[in-house]
Amino acid sequence: MSDTADGRNTEIHRQIAAALADLVPSDPGIPPHPYLRRHLAEHAAEGQVLDDEHVPPSLLAWESSSEVRRLLAAGGAGSERREWLRAWAALEPFARGVDPVSRLSSLRLARYTSAPTTRSSAEPVPPPSISAAPVAPLWSDCASPAPAWTASPKEVTSLATVKNADGRAIAVAAGDNAGTLRILRLDGRLDHVPLSVHSGAVSHLVALDGGLVISAGTDGCVAAVNAANGRLVRKVVVCRQRTWVGSLTLYRPQGGLPLLLAAFSDRTIEAFDPGRFLSHPVPLPRLQDRSAVLCGIEMPDGSCRLLFTERDTVNCWDGRTAAVHSRHEGRVRAVLALPQPGRYAVADESGRVSLCDLADVRGAGAVGVHAAPATALQLTSYEQRPALVSAAGDGTLRLWRLPSLTPIDGVLPAHTAPVTAMTCVSGDGHDRVLSGGADRIVRSWTVDRRTFGQPPKAWNHVTASALSPSPPYLLAAARASRVIVKDLTANRQRTLLKGHKITALAWPHVRGRLLLAAALNDNTIICVDPETNEQADRTMTGHHLPVHALVTLPSAEGELLASGSADGQLCIWQPSTGERVARFPHHQFTVRCLATYQGAGANLLASGGSDGNVRVWDADRLRQHGRTIKCDQDIINDLAFIAPDEGGLLVAAAGRDGTLKLWDTETARPVRQLTCSDGELGAVTAVRLPLERTALAAAGKTSIHLWDAASGRHLLQIVTGSPVCSLKTVQDPRDVATSILLASGEAGTMALRLHHNRL
C-alpha cells in the first residue's frame, strides 16, 4: 500500500474513532454500544489517536476487547494524553470478567498511584464519570506495576516458544503448578482452551519445530500437545509411577536420530522418538540426583554429549562413560547449551551464573552473580549478538553479553516473587524475553539497554502497617528499617524508628496519649510518641521469636496490647508498665493474626496461625472462650469478627487455600464459605455499613474483594495487580456514610475512602 493510501486509511480510522467517542455515554452506569466496547480502541490505534480523549475512562469500565495493553505496546505515533489508558493497561490482565463498577474503582486508584503527585495526596482531578466510583484514594506510595503480558490463575512453572516449520515463532506454551497447559498468542491472549495435561505441576516444556510441544509433569508422565489446534496428541508418551519428571532435553546419540530424554526422580533416564513417541533403547548414564537437570550439547566435531547434574556438579556423558566436568558453589538449578559448540552456562543456588567449556578441563570459567539463588537461563540476542538472560529467586533478571559474560549494567526487577521460567520470542527488531514467576504473572521484556540497563531500583516491601482508630487519622507503615507516619487529615508525614526493622504495628491509647506500638526484630515491643519519636514506656519482653501481629484491647486500666509471635505464644501486655498480663502458649506454630470484638458484655480476642486453628479468648477473664476452631483452610493468614443481626458471633478466617470461611465461635462449625478464585487470601477486615449491615473485605493475589457478610453477595472487586497482605478499616465519626480502608502489600501502602451508599 502506498504512503498516500496509508495516510488515507489512518485518517478514516481517526474520523471513525472521533465519531464513536462522541457516542460513549458520560455516565459509566450506562453501558456503551457493544461495538464501542469491542472496537473503539482499535479504531483509535489505527487512526493514531489512541488517547484518553478518544477512549475515555467511562468506556474502559466496559471495554471488552482486552486489547488496550497490546495496542499501547505496539506504539506508533499518537497523542501522549494516555494516563488513564496506561493505568488501565496495568490492570487489564487481571480485570477480565470484573463488573464495570469494580473496574471504575480500580481504574481510579491505579491512575492515582501512577500520578507524580501521589505522595502529596493531591489526586489528579478525575472526570465526573470516575468521581461516581465507590472508592476514593486518600494516599498511596504503591509502585505502579509493570504491565503484564498475561496473568495465570496458577503459578507459572514452565514456558516455551512454539515455532512453525520455518522456525518462526507462532505461539507460547505456558504450564502451571496445577498441570494445566495454555497455548498463548504472541500478544498474550489464549489461542485455545486450556488443557489439563498432568495431575501434578508442569515441570518442563520442550517445543519442537512444527508446533509440537512436549510436556513433563510431577505426576511422572510425559505428554505431547499440538499447539496448532490445542489438542493432546498423546496423553502419555512415557510414564513412571510414583515419580516426577525433573527435566527434558533433546539429545542425538552417535550415528542416530535426535531423541527426547526425560529425567525421572527414581534416577532413571527414558529416551523416546519424538516423531513416533516410541521408547528408544540407547546407552545412558544412571543418575545419582533425584532432581537432575539434563542438557544435550553439540561438540565442535558435530557429535553430541549429554550433560547431567548431581547437586553442585555438572557431569558429561560421551555415550560410554561419564565424568565430572564442573563444580559449583550451590545446587545447580539450570544448564543451557550456548551457541558456541562445546560451551554451556550454569545457574546455581549460590546466585552464580557460570560459563563452561568442555574443551577446558578446569571446568567453570567466567562467573556472574545474582543477589539471590539463580533459577533460570535463556538465550537471546542483544545488539544482534548472542546474549544470555539469567533469573533469580528475588524476582530479578540480568542480561549478559556472550561469550565473555559481561553484564549489561543494571538489574531488572521483573517480578515480586521468584522467577520460575523464561523463554525468548525473536522478532524483526529486538528480541523479547518472557518471564514467568511465582506471582502468577508472565511479563514481556524487550532485550535492549533501555530495559535491562537501568540502575538497580531499591524497593523494600512493607513489613507492617497500622491505622489509628480515630481522628486525626495516622497511617503508619514500616519499610526499610524505618516507619513512615502519615497524617491523612493534615497531609504531612514524619519518619520514626530509623534503624529498626519492624514486624508489627498498632496504635494504643496509653495514659490519654496516642502512641505507636512497634514490634522489633529482636522480639521486643516498644511504644513511641509519634510527635517526639521518643520511647514512652518500658520495653515489653518475653517472646522468643519475632512478633507477627499486634492489636489493642480495652480494659478497666486502659488499653492493653495483645501480641502473636512465631514462637506460638499469644501474650497480653500492660504497655504503661511493660508488664505481661497473660500468656497463652496454645498454638503449635506461628501466631500470624489477631482480631478483637467488644459488644454485649464481651471483650474477646481471636488468634489464628500456621497450625490452621483459630482460638477465641475472653480478654477480661484471661481464658479461652469456647472450643478451638479447627479450620481446614491450611494456614490462617487473618481474622475478623462479625456480629449477625440474628444474634451469635462469627469469625471470618482468610486461608492460604484461597477460601474465606465464617465460623460460629460457640459451636466451632462453619456457617458460610466465600470464594473469589484469586489465590491465597492474605488479609480480611470487617466494614460496618448502614442499616446494621456488615461487609467483609478480603485480599487475594491480585484484588481486594468485598462481600455482604449476611447474604454472601459480592459487592466490589478492587483490582490491585499485586498481593495485599494487610487490611485495616476504621469508621469515620465525622462521616458515617464512609469508612477508611488501609491496604498494604508488596507494591506498597494505600489508604482509600469507601462510600457505603455506592456499594
Burial 268-282 (b: 16+ CB within 10 A, else e): ebbbbebeebeebee
Helix/strand/coil (H/E/C) assignment for every residue in 615-653: EEEECCCCEECCCCEECCCCCEEEEEEECCCCCCCEEEE
CA distances (Å), origin 470, targets 240, 486, 596 = 62, 14, 16
Residue 51: give the domain boundaries: 3-99
The average pLDDT across 574-592 equals: 94
Tens digits of per-residue pLDDT, 429-469? 789 999 998 988 899 999 988 888 876 655 678 999 999 98
Instruction: Name the residue among 598, 625, 602, 623 with its Cα closest to residue 614.
Output: 625
Residues 569, 572, 576, 579, Cα dihedral to 10°: -60
Q: Do 629 and 604 form a contact (C-beta atoms < 8 A)?
A: no
- CB contact set of 64 (below 8 Å; sequence gap of 6+): 34, 37, 38
- pLDDT tier, 76 (very low <50, low <70, confident <90, very high otherwise): very low
Percent of the chain residues past pLDDT 70, beyond the cut: 96
Confirm whether 19 is domain-assigned.
yes
Residues 240 and 242: their CA atoms lie apart, in Å, by: 7
Tell me whether residue 440 is in a domain.
no
Measure the CA–CA gap between 454 and 612, rounded to whole angstroms: 43
Across the beta sheet with 560-565, what order do the strands follow? 547-553, 560-565, 570-574, 579-584
* The pLDDT of residue 2: 56
Confidence of residue 329 (pLDDT cuts 50, 70, 90): very high
Average pLDDT on 695-705 reads 95
pLDDT digits (tens, 9 = 90+) for 182-231: 999 988 888 999 999 999 999 999 999 889 999 999 999 999 999 999 99
**Angstrom distance (rounded) from CA 409 to CA 412:** 10
CA distances from 490 to 120, 137, 139, 242, 486 (A): 11, 15, 12, 63, 9
The answer, yes or no, to whether residue 99 has pLDDT greater than 90, is yes
Distance CA 439, CA 451 (A): 20
Contact 53, 84 (CB under 8 A): no
Per the prediction, the chain carries an average pLDDT of: 91
Distances (CA, A) of 554 to 464, 475, 595: 22, 21, 13
Average pLDDT over residues 606-610: 96
- Mean pLDDT, residues 85-93 taken together: 90
Q: pLDDT tens digits, residue range 7-36? A: 789 999 999 999 999 999 988 889 999 999
**pLDDT at 75 (0 to 100):** 61
C-alpha atoms less than 13 angstroms from C-alpha of 386 in its C-beta half-sphere: 11
d(CA 473, CA 735): 13
For residue 386, the cross-strand partners are 381
Q: Residue 313 pLDDT > 80, yes or no?
A: yes
Is the whole model's pTM more than 0.75, yes or no? yes
Q: Does residue 120 register a pLDDT over 70? A: no
Count of CA atoms in the C-beta half-sphere (13 A) of 232: 14
pLDDT-derived band of residue 119, with 50, 70 and 90 as boundaries? Answer: very low
The three-state secondary structure class of 497 is coil
Predicted confidence (pLDDT) at residue 117 exceeds the cutoff of 70: no
pLDDT at 78 over 50: no
What's the pLDDT tens digit per position in 267-281?
999 999 988 888 888
**Kindly report the CA angle at 418 between 416 and 424, in degrees rounded to 5?**
100
Q: Quick one: pLDDT band at residue 557, thresholds 50, 70, 90? A: confident
List all residues 6 or more positions away from 636 whose beta carbon is below 8 Å from its beta carbon: 592, 593, 608, 609, 610, 612, 613, 614, 653, 654, 655, 656
Residues 325-359 as b/e (b if ≥16 CB within 10 A, e otherwise) read bbebeebbbbbbbbeebbbbbbbbbbbbbbbbbbe
Give the integer Cα–Cα distance in Å for 222 and 21: 51
Position 167 confidence tier, pLDDT thresholds 50, 70, 90: confident
Asked if residue 152 is part of any domain, the answer here is no
In this structure, of 59-73, 301-315, 499-513, 643-657, the range with the lowest mean pLDDT score is 59-73
- What total number of domains does the chain contain? 1
Structure confidence by residue, pLDDT tens digits, 675-691: 888 889 999 999 998 88
Report if residue 518 sits inside a domain. no
Strands (E), 115-252: 135-140, 150-151, 156-163, 169-176, 180-184, 195-196, 202-208, 212-217, 221-226, 231-239, 245-251
Residue 444: burial class (beta carbons within 10 Å; 0-12, 13-18, 19+)? buried
Amino acid 118: pLDDT: 47
> Is residue 732 scored above 80 in pLDDT?
no
> For residue 14, is it within any domain?
yes
- Residue 754 and residue 739 in contact, taking contact as beta carbons nearer than 8 Å: yes
**Residue that is written with C-alpha cell 461495538 in the block:** 35
Which residues, in sequence order, are CB contacts of 700 under 8 Å at separation 6+?
A: 658, 676, 678, 679, 680, 681, 682, 723, 724
Q: What is the distance between the alpha carbons of residues 513 and 530, in angstroms, rounded to a whole number?
A: 10
The pLDDT of residue 141? 87
Cell numbers for 215, please give them. Answer: 510436556
Within-domain flag for 476: no
- Given a cut of 80, whether residue 79 has pLDDT beyond it is no
- pLDDT over 90, % of the chain: 70
The rounded distance, in Å, linking the Cα atoms of 209 and 196 is: 23
Structural domain includes residue 10? yes
pLDDT band at 116 (very low <50, low <70, confident <90, very high): low
pLDDT per residue as tens digits for the range 357-401: 999 877 677 788 999 999 999 999 998 899 999 999 999 999 999
Instruction: Place 333 in a pLDDT band, splitting at 50, 70 and 90.
Output: very high
Cell for 5? 493510501
Q: What is the CB neighbour count within 10 angstroms for residue 559?
A: 19
Q: Does residue 108 belong to any structural domain of this protein? A: no
* Summary count for the chain: helices (H), strands (E): 8, 58
